[in-house]
Amino acid sequence: MTAPAPDDKWKLKPHPSIPKPDKPLLVVVLDGWGEGTHNDDFNAIHKADTPCMDSLKEGAPQRWRLLKAHGTAVGLPTDDDMGNSEVGHNALGAGQVVDQGARLCDKALESHRLWDLDGWKYLAPAAQAGTLHLIGLLSDGGVHSRYDQLLLLLTGAAERGAERLRVHCLTDGRDVEDGTSVQYMQRLQKDLATLREAAGVDAAIASGGGRMRVTMDRYESDWKIVERGWDAHVLGEAPSRFTDPVEAVEKLREPKALGGKPASDQWLEPFVIVGKDDKPVGPIEDGDAVVIFNFRADRVLELSRAFEYEKFDKFERKRHPKVRFAGLMQYDGEEKLPKHFLVPPPDIERTTGEYLARGCCVPTYACSESQKIGHVSFFWNGNRGQPFNSLETWHEVPSDKNIPFNEKPEMKSREIADLGKEALRSGKFDGGQVRLNFPNPDMVGHTGDLEATIVACTAVDKCVKELLDEVEAVGGRWLVTADHGNAEDMVQRDKKTGTPLREADGRPRPLTAHTLNPVPVVIGGPGLPDSVRFREDLPNAGLANVGPTILNLLGYEAPPHMVPTLLA
């Protein structure tokens, strides 16, 4: 295939002191690998066997540093907001700090501007004449959704003529403490009762289930997850039927065996709520309005396709109601999915990938397994679903299905590493980049299983060592970093003392969420001039500063709209 000609609009100036390499640049993202403040038994990275990452930290003080990976540094509303893989990879690839989904939605709701935009205007006739259904993650985690935004949507819709409201709740236990599903359901029940009394509307919870079991699949890893959600939310069909949603999560969390652990909120089976007549209180019917209230894209794209597409073959939709459907945001700008949305998405233009592909004719190989391939491609490129041109190669390693991550914590790290080594020595990406994401610290960390996460981090460290050895052999350059913290703290702590919190029986209370910790970034390789080192005047540098640094390592100056490079 003939390589595309460079587009003058996207050309970059040569770097004045770092020559363009004739071998590849390896970029590795260790997903969920933070730098913890507690080097104790609950820091899986500290407890893991990580000689490679340890040696990088100890051996290259001028080429190793920490970066902010949460809050305003990655475009989130406040510095109390955890970073996540979506915003992290947006920042890494864009080289810019861009207002992200949560912040954009906050602004649109607080100003009431949302109700004047085209999305609500499209929904309003159906929301006022039929039922308005809201589907999403019932959580304050701030990664996929936020409770306060759901409540503002319910209240605002009721104020604007929606008289029948139904909420379809996915329980979390991943971005918030496991077991809090009961409290969230109680809170929503109370707020819906207040709304019924204050606004005179018919508002109720209609269905639900755990996020990893129901509805919120991603990257088409397992369409059965979405099918379970479709059956519960749309058809009102599920194995478990309850009259009270609080009772539903309490019963579904009960241990299956005497003395066993409660079921995780993440994995609760689907359920529907029925009335006194034993009929579902909120199936989705022709003429209704449906909103997904998650602002993050990856785990609601598949449900969006099921609602939006007339031609659909991923599972049997026993009924496909004619509804007005919208997302809180547009979840895929390339696919234009969904067509209607309440808040316009972040405008991420002029990313590093676009300059390299269009203006510099630099080849890129991006690889991960299904759980994170979209992050190292779609999110890295500014939420674009396709490569910029033929110079970009995206390679997905299929993730295991129906195997909890803590049961196979190595996941597909071996396959990713082998593919990365093959790409490095192939010659196809000389002068370009080989970009890899290892999901293990994040995906296994989310299970709360400390021992499995230690195994995951050990496996990833070994893969990084092999990759760096390959870079050494071919004479290339490398950059290793992460997108947010997770595995470095696996226990809930007293906020003042940092002491691990424990249950009444003495068991530690696992932390399954991301953290507010910084992440490391380190550079090296035989192809990198000895004079290159990190600058010392950017104490608050964040993930966005990695983008222009990558351009420098490939021999180019970064464009002026990007944040400063990390290199002196």
Residues 6+ apart with CB under 8 A from 133: 166, 167, 168, 206, 233, 282, 284, 288, 289, 290, 291
- Is 514 known as a binding-site position? yes
Annotated binding residue at 133? no
Alpha-helical (H) ranges within 10-98 are 44-47, 51-59, 85-94
- Annotated ligand binding at 164? The verdict is no
Is 264 annotated to bind ligand? Answer: no
* Residue tagged 């199936």 (tokens): 283
On whether 178 is known to bind a ligand per the annotation, the reply is no
E strands, 18-100, are 25-30, 64-67
Is there a binding annotation on residue 174? yes
372 known member of a binding site: yes
Number of other CB atoms surrounding residue 401 within 10 Å: 11
Report how far residue 519's alpha carbon sits from residue 35's, in angstroms, rounded to the nearest whole number. 5
Q: Is 144 annotated as a binding residue?
A: yes
Q: Is 297 assigned a ligand-binding role in the annotation?
A: yes
- Of the candidates 464, 438, 303, which has an alpha carbon nearest to the alpha carbon of residue 373? 438
Residue 442 annotated as part of some ligand binding site: yes
The reply, when asked if residue 204 is annotated as ligand binding, is no
251 annotated to a ligand binding site:
no
SS3 491: strand
Q: What is the signed CA dihedral for 400, 404, 408, 411, rounded to 10 degrees?
A: 40
Residue 418, amino acid: D
Buried b (16+ CB within 10 A) or exposed e, 120-139: bebbbebbeebbbbbbbbbb
Is 233 marked as binding a ligand?
A: no
Q: Are 421 and 464 in contact (CB under 8 A)?
A: no
Judged on CB neighbours under 10 Å (0-12, 13-18, 19+), 153 is buried
Judge whether 85 counts as a catalytic residue: yes
* Residue 266, CB-side half-sphere exposure with 13 Å CA sphere: 16
- Does 218 carry a binding-site annotation? yes
Residue 502, marked binder: no
Nearest CA-CA partner of 447 in 417, 497, 411: 411
Residues with Cβ within 8 Å of residue 275, at least 6 apart in sequence: 243, 281
Residue type, 441: P
Per annotation, catalytic residue among 17, 85, 111, 221: 85
Residue 371 and residue 409 in contact, taking contact as beta carbons nearer than 8 Å: no
Point out the annotated binding site.
Answer: 31, 85, 144, 174-175, 211, 218, 296-299, 372, 442, 446, 483-484, 514
Which residues belong to the annotated binding site for substrate? Answer: 144, 174-175, 211, 218, 296-299, 372
Residues marked active site are found at 85
Write out the binding residues for Mn(2+). 31, 85, 442, 446, 483-484, 514
